[in-house]
Structure 1
Amino acid sequence: MNKVGYAVYWLGCGYVLSHLFLMHDWVQFFDGFSLLCTLVPAVAALAIAGEGITQRFKLSAKIMWVSATLTFVYGAVLTLSHHPFDADGFVMGLSVAMLPLFYALILTLLVAPLVFRTEGNNQ
């Protein structure tokens, strides 16, 4: 049953991500700066020596969420700093500012089963 659950999980994630990226304009979900600010600290955290792979994945996920939150705050401050206030510009700027949180959510959804599978094998 455990393998069936993993298969259903991966199929569900694959369906949702393919629906988001392939059935709609996938370019609207890409921002290079946000992607770099979210991924680079998370990948660097995986290179920490002396920890088990499960601990490194957990630390990487925590660092990824912190960096995504800080990048979101940075984008929100930039969006709110524009004069004069424009409602359309505010909504577009806020949607781009939320992309790092979206990236962190996707990566957490994809890495979570690997972390829990590794934990289950270690016990």
Structure 2
Amino acid sequence: MINEWRTSSFSSNGASCVEVLEADGATYLRDTKENGEGAVLHLDAQAWSAFLDEVARDVPSANGAVEVTTPDARADGGRAVLEHSSGAVLHFRDDEWVAFRRGVLAGEFGAPRA
């Protein structure tokens, strides 16, 4: 089990990225731009697995835990991730999301790797 926040190796500087923490049998997401003071989203193991699959396939969310906007819905081409249970939202620029997705595709956060 990893107990520290980490980003994709494809993230350029670590200061503007999707950050992931695996702890207590769950996975948490936050935005490094918030300096640890913003929203933190919680996904159980099943939702995390579904989320990774959706990110890898670049398809709309249907995992029931979080919803990811499509690029067309944001003027900057980035993504927003909404946690249904809390209403918390994270906003990622396109470059941040692309780096995260590349990490997902490379298997850095579990599953994918095809």
Q: Same fold (TM over 0.5)?
A: no
Q: Which is richer in helix?
A: 1
Q: Which is richer in strand?
A: 2
User: Normalised by the size of structure 1, how large is the TM-score?
Assistant: 0.30
Q: Which structure's relative contact order is higher, taking Cα pairs within 8 Å and 6+ residues apart?
A: 1
User: Normalised by the size of structure 2, how large is the TM-score?
Assistant: 0.31
Of structures 1 and 2, the larger Rg is shown by 1
